[in-house]
Amino acid sequence: MFGQMQDSPLLVSQLIEHAERLYPTKRIITKTVEGDWHIYTYADAAKRSRQLSQALISLGVKQDDVIGTLAWNTFRHFECWYGISGIGAVLHTINPRLFPEQLDYIINHAEDKYLFIDTTFVPLLEALQAKLSHVKGYVIMCDEANMPTTQLPNVLCYETLLSQQDGDFAWPELDERQASSICYTSGTTGNPKGVVYSHRSSLLHSWGITGKDITSLDSQSIMLPIVPMFHANAWGLVYACPMVGAELVFPGPHLDGASVSDMINRFKVDISAAVPTVWTMLLQHLRQSGETLESLNSVLIGGSAVPRSMIQAFDQDYNVEVWQAWGMTEMSPLGSLNRPLPQDSKLSYEEQLNIRSKQGRPCFGVQMKIVDDENHELPHDGKAFGRLLVKGPWIVSQYFKMEKSALEDDGWFDTGDVATIDATGNMQITDRSKDVIKSGGEWISSIDLENAAMGHPDVLEAAVIGVSHPKWEERPLLIIVPKNKNKVPDSEALLHFLADKVAKWWLPNGVEVVDEIPHTATGKINKVGLRETFKDYQFEEAIA
């Protein structure tokens, strides 16, 4: 027997329509690419998003056509999110920081019909355009006064396109399974893989992240999403804010510490979201300038593990609560969030930092489990660690144009991470599955070893990889970059330093000193490259 409620589809356009009806005067503020302030309301944004939909239709764009964007976080990019998806076309947010060969691969793979680009990226596209076989035209996201001289073919001006439309338009009632958007992941190996979100998954994710115990976003919030709209959907905030009527402050390309501090203080931002690198720049700027962050209550930090020192600096120096978030492009992206529990306040500050360094608890909608090599579920005791699997309506099932399911046989998605889960549901990533070192049937976390080694005063950066070993299958090799080339710590001293920080059988069997550790396009340690470099490495001696 089926329920007899309305078959009312969940659509992205409902988010902006809701904001328009209930929060028409709430503001969207942008520091534009040109550097000035642009301020308008949800009512304005809704009308202009409809004008954009009309413009797309006039360009011949149809349902299922993929439209790419290479753009900063701005009001125009916001309009693209609603104007493109609203008519059943598919928004493809492109990360301009990818390598050029990855860029032309994904633009061709997705068959982007038009590209909406900020003036910043015109030179990048000029270099690529000859290879882009499906692109019919380039819409430059500015007004006529700011249009650059360019060699790009079929160039259109965003503001001119909109000015030709009246906004008298109603978004269609699509199937909620209709694709709303695509975002490609950039792995360390192989071509990027596309994740295709639906209107349904985007809406459910928005509900999932707006709970009071998750982001606490509401109509009094003023959110500064620094995480780019081309990076894992800006963590869903561009959908979540209109859902609850939160105001938005978009930073454009201005992500430096001084700009971020200015935006927070100028517009009384109370919540923001970015990767650790951005916060490092902000904290440096604050220390130098003496500026403070009176309005800011909390920062969402994700993308890579949050250093304890960053949690502590925000907390003790600026009275800002760090909420560590964890997710993946494949997860829309939110999987979990670390919000302190009231009972934690009774613990010592060090113990609190231990808890707050974890990746957090899943929001309703995301199921998590950890399993061993034989797929047996492991206990949630904060100690056992295994492959982290996830399940839920905003998690990928299949990559774009790939025949194979992205899931395990039992329908769960393997995150590629290795993690522990404690009794309060708090998950902590201990390693990537492919980086974990398998020694005598047990697992050693490369990340734990790296973090411990990074604590040594003479170490600038550390990486740990598994190297084959005749007896133990694999043993850890520690690779370091010294802070000062003239003060290289010796192997014995380093191992002694680690001895009381990790289990004895985890201690690396060798230490190598290098000038530089290779990184991927997204700033992570390139362990594939390291493993290649050290593939013939021989340990001097095996530990007992």
Tell which positions 209-238 bind a second copy, by CB under 8 A.
210-213, 216-220
Binding test (CB under 8 A) with a second copy, winner from 360, 362, 386, 476: 362
Residue 233-252 contact track with a second copy, rule CB under 8 A, x = bound: ----------xxx-------
110 binds a second copy (CB under 8 A): no
14 binds a second copy (CB under 8 A): yes
Tell which positions 74-93 bind a second copy, by CB under 8 A.
90
The CA distance from 87 to 109, in Å, is 22
Cis preceding-peptide flag for 333 (omega within 30 of 0): yes
Question: Is 185 an annotated catalytic residue?
Answer: yes
> Exactly one of 79, 247, 330, 450 is catalytic; which is it?
330
> Exactly one of 119, 120, 185, 522 is catalytic; which is it?
185
Identify any residues that bridge with 476 across adjacent strands, giving them in sequence order. Answer: 466
The CA distance from 280 to 260, in Å, is 12
56 binds a second copy (CB under 8 A): no
Binding test (CB under 8 A) with a second copy, winner from 8, 149, 345, 348: 8
Buried b (16+ CB within 10 A) or exposed e, 298-315: bbbbbbebbbeebbebbb
Widest CA span in the chain? 77
Based on CB atoms, which residue is closest to a second copy, 129 or 181?
181
The CA distance from 242 to 204, in Å, is 14
Identify any residues that bridge with 224 across adjacent strands, giving them in sequence order. Answer: 272
332 binds a second copy (CB under 8 A): yes
Identify any residues that bridge with 198 across adjacent strands, giving them in sequence order. Answer: 179
Kindly state the smallest distance separating residue 125's Cβ from a second copy, in Å: 24
DSSP per residue over 438-501, as a string?
EETTEEE-HHHHHHHHHTSTTEEEEEEEEEEETTTEEEEEEEEEESSTTSPPPHHHHHHHHHTT
DSSP per residue over 228-247, as a string?
-TTSGGGGGHHHHHHHHT-E
Kindly state the smallest distance separating residue 194's Cβ from a second copy, in Å: 9
Based on CB atoms, which residue is closest to a second copy, 20 or 79?
20
DSSP per residue over 282-340, as a string?
HHHHHHHH----TT--EEEE-SSPPPHHHHHIIIIIH--EEEEEEE-GGGSSEEEEE--
524 binds a second copy (CB under 8 A): no
Based on CB atoms, which residue is closest to a second copy, 129 or 198?
198
Kindly state the smallest distance separating residue 77's Cβ from a second copy, in Å: 21
Question: Is 438 an annotated catalytic residue?
Answer: yes
Residue 396-415 contact track with a second copy, rule CB under 8 A, x = bound: xxxxx------x---x-x--
Binding test (CB under 8 A) with a second copy, winner from 61, 196, 370, 507: 196
Q: What type of residue sits at position 504?
A: K
Decide: helix, strand or coil at residue 511: strand
What are the residues whose beta carbons fall under 8 Å from the beta carbon of 272, sequence distance 6 or more?
Answer: 223, 224, 225, 226, 260, 264, 296, 299, 300
Kindly state the smallest distance separating residue 233's Cβ from a second copy, in Å: 12
Binding test (CB under 8 A) with a second copy, winner from 68, 86, 225, 392: 392
Give the residue numbers annotated as catalytic, written as ranges.
185, 330, 438, 443
Binding site for a second copy (CB under 8 A): 1-10, 14-15, 18, 21-22, 64, 90, 175, 177-180, 195-201, 204, 207-208, 210-213, 216-220, 243-245, 332, 341-342, 361-362, 364, 367, 380, 391-400, 407, 411, 413, 424-425
